[in-house]
Structure 1
Amino acid sequence: MRILILGGSQFLGRAVAARACAVGHDVTCAARGVAGPIAAGAHFVMIDRDAADGLAPLAGETFDAVVDVSRYPGQVRRAVAALKRPGVHWTFVSTISVYADNRIPGQRADTAPLREPVAAEIEHSTDAIYGAAKVACEQVVGNDSFICRAGLIAGPEDPTGRFAYWPTRLARGGEVLAPGSPDDAVQFIDVRDLAQWIVHAAEVRLTGIYDGIGPIRKRGEFLAECAAALNASCTFTWVDGEFLEAHDVRRWAGPRSLPMWLPLPDFAGFLTRDTSPAREAGLTSRPPGETARDTLHWLRESHGPVIGLSSDEESAVLSAWHVRNAAATRT
């Protein structure tokens, strides 16, 4: 099968190309070529998706399947106009950020309400309109495609450094600052599992809308499994969200954050998606410890990015927490 990946030079796009090549497909990656190298065995075509004629280098080519990971409505509109033809299987990688309600746990892709899409004249996207821009992209692609709404994607080559914080921190051992409660939910997908499913979807010509995320796990079990896989000796100190926010510990990602943590109940539904339809359609998930181990190995080999609390910042928050608890005990 001839597969075109619009992108293919970074993280998920490259993982999809690597998987497709590994199982014997003829893979073309079309991109600007600045984000990184494409997967071994794939063909590279240089394009500029922001230009009106930026897809011209693909003119005359025929493909059995197309995979698009863009967040920009203008790019998606031009790709659909130039490349979407009867008989071509189309995958669009969207996001769970398209959903309007993040509070209710257990929502499903086929029934959960969506954000309003950005206006038709919007070409690009920013973090502020990311979800709304992806809704607009989905509408352009249409319901005859495979729309994969990915959650947090983890694993080797992750350019965001979010998941990477945890294996890096756990590997140091000792007292670990853990957010919220051990029973709080976490949900993510290994990039290699998501890539395998995307290639499978093209092979079986799967269509429909699915949430591409792993199973719901308890945070305490997730951290314990990852620590065990890394042979790390850790103790976990669980600190409530109100205290964390009062001490300027930030949510989800970025400097001074505890990655993969979101305040409850405002985000009780964000990491508790019902992904049973995706599992029934072939999505599988490896153990979290395997993702943590492989991510840490990649980080050490490549010096990849890690974001989150520094060691000194974590120590300061833990000290403040213990001081508060000691004072409460005395009273």
Structure 2
Amino acid sequence: MTDVLILGGTGWLSGRIARRWLDAGAAVTCLARGERAAPDGAALVRGDRDDPVVYAALAARDWDQVVDISSQAAHVAGAVNALGDRAARWTYVSSMSVYSDDETAGADESAPRHPPAQRGDEYEYGAQKAAAEDAVATLGPRALIARPGLIVGEGDPSDRFGYWAAAFIRAGAEPVLLPPTDGRATQVIDVDDLADYVVTTSATGPVNTIGDVHPLAEVLDAVCTAAGHTGDTVVATEDWLVGQGVEYWMGERSLPLWLPAEMTGFMTRSNARFHATGGSLRPLVETIADVVADERARGIDRVRRAGLTRAEERALRAELGR
């Protein structure tokens, strides 16, 4: 039986990875802090990765697979130091945010990265992930570094992709405010496709674990159709939205998936190696259907981490006279 250690295992992505390993017949142990439960069938070890002895018991045995998704470079380096010699294979789920070039469309895994974070640096996500990758890379051919971009699907805690499902559902027959879509693209991966890849691939080294590139307008239109929206859409200009304090990409008072025009490479990266090493993607319309159903179940008017409230959206449309 395959012995798998998930450093995490109780979160949105790590829990799905743990579940996939269990479904594959593995014995799974999760190391996590907090009160969330591990998937049924997994052993749970409670521990804080800031504690220098947190790995003591885990380092007393060998592991066929270790999976880590942390965005804290010190945590990743500490795990590699404590458990690296005990792991036959190590998977680190990094991020395409490690890349410093956001303009070159079709860039692959050889694209330049941000300088890795150094001890004492102010926290910056991409730099932390780059430093964590360097720690994992010391394991050589035993290590896979998966670099997803935007992960989407049922239960997504970021609310970015799901915002659009909620926006179209709640609008009904009223208009929905859109950002500029001409020449814009989006690129996502379903959380379950990512979890499947992590469990089944034998790839090593860095892999852009991301979906295919789609025009943003086509994706939003597909979400609109799945949500049953019957109203119009109102496209605002980039300068006007910025002037109204609407943010790109994520966060409060934002229009998720919208990026500055010059970031032509951020959502258009090559996923050729992902496909070549066993990665598979469900049709995007299936993911959209799951997200629409999930947003209905979770509540379209709930407090969100990304997007506009319906009141904010209406006020912006009123400013536009639409």
Aligned partner of 2:163 in structure 1 is 165
Question: Which amino acid is the alignment partner of residue 52 of structure 1?
Answer: P
Shift of 1:112: 0.5
Shift of 1:18: 1.4
Aligned partner of 1:28 in structure 2 is 29
- For 2:271 and 2:193, the matched residues in 1 are separated by 14
- For 1:3 and 1:305, the matched residues in 2 are separated by 36
Question: Which amino acid is the alignment partner of residue 12 of structure 1?
Answer: L
Aligned partner of 2:55 in structure 1 is 55
Q: Does structure 1 conserve the Cα–Cα contact (< 8 Å) formed by 2:62 and 2:87? A: no
Give ranges in structure 1 of 5+ residues lacking alignment: 324-331
Question: Which amino acid is the alignment partner of residue 289 of structure 1?
Answer: V
Shift of 1:108: 0.7
Residues 54-81 of structure 1, C-alpha deviation per residue, up to 9 Å, x if partnerless?
1123132321011100111111111111
- Matching of residue 278 in structure 1 with residue 274 in structure 2: yes
SS in 2 for 1:56: coil
Would the alpha carbon gap of residues 52 and 249 (structure 1) be closer, same or farther in structure 2, given more than 3 Å must change? same
Q: Equivalent of 2:259, from 250, 259, 262?
A: 262
Aligned partner of 1:64 in structure 2 is 64
Q: Equivalent of 1:218, from 191, 215, 218?
A: 215
- For 1:181 and 1:301, the matched residues in 2 are separated by 28
TM-score normalised according to structure 2 size: 0.91
Shift of 1:233: 2.5
Q: Within 5 Å, give how 1:95-134 maps onto structure 2.
A: 95-109=95-109, 111-119=110-118, 121-122=119-120, 126=123, 129-134=124-129
RMSD of aligned C-alpha atoms? 2.0
The runs of 4+ residues in structure 1 deviating greater than 6 Å are none
Aligned partner of 1:243 in structure 2 is 240
Aligned partner of 2:320 in structure 1 is 321
Instruction: Single out whichever of 52-61 and 3-12 deviates more from structure 2.
Output: 52-61
Question: Which amino acid is the alignment partner of residue 315 of structure 1?
Answer: R
Question: Which amino acid is the alignment partner of residue 255 of structure 1?
Answer: E
Aligned partner of 1:232 in structure 2 is 229
SS in 1 for 2:161: coil
Shift of 1:234: 4.3
Q: Does structure 2 conserve the Cα–Cα contact (< 8 Å) formed by 1:32 and 1:47? A: yes
Aligned partner of 2:6 in structure 1 is 5
Residues 65-116 of structure 1, C-alpha deviation per residue, up to 9 Å, x if partnerless?
111001111111111111112761110011111111112211111x201111
- Matching of residue 141 in structure 1 with residue 139 in structure 2: no
SS in 1 for 2:175: strand
Q: Does structure 2 conserve the Cα–Cα contact (< 8 Å) formed by 1:176 and 1:236? A: yes
SS in 2 for 1:91: strand
- Matching of residue 90 in structure 1 with residue 90 in structure 2: yes
Instruction: Single out whichever of 297-306 and 207-216 deviates more from structure 2.
Output: 297-306
- For 2:3 and 2:311, the matched residues in 1 are separated by 51
- For 1:185 and 1:95, the matched residues in 2 are separated by 18
TM-score normalised according to structure 1 size: 0.88
Residues 115-142 of structure 1, C-alpha deviation per residue, up to 9 Å, x if partnerless?
11111x34x973xx11111111111111
Aligned partner of 1:309 in structure 2 is 308
Give ranges in structure 2 of 5+ residues lacking alignment: none
- For 2:251 and 2:99, the matched residues in 1 are separated by 22
- Matching of residue 78 in structure 1 with residue 64 in structure 2: no
- For 1:57 and 1:230, the matched residues in 2 are separated by 49
Shift of 1:281: 1.2
Would the alpha carbon gap of residues 6 and 125 (structure 1) be closer, same or farther in structure 2, given more than 3 Å must change? farther
Instruction: Single out whichever of 156-165 and 129-138 deviates more from structure 2.
Output: 156-165
- For 1:294 and 1:182, the matched residues in 2 are separated by 26
SS in 1 for 2:102: coil
Question: Which amino acid is the alignment partner of residue 240 of structure 2?
Answer: F
Shift of 1:300: 3.9
Q: Does structure 2 conserve the Cα–Cα contact (< 8 Å) formed by 1:115 and 1:131? A: yes
Instruction: Single out whichever of 218-227 and 167-176 deviates more from structure 2.
Output: 167-176
Q: Does structure 2 conserve the Cα–Cα contact (< 8 Å) formed by 1:27 and 1:43? A: yes
Q: What number of residue pairs does the alignment pair up?
A: 313
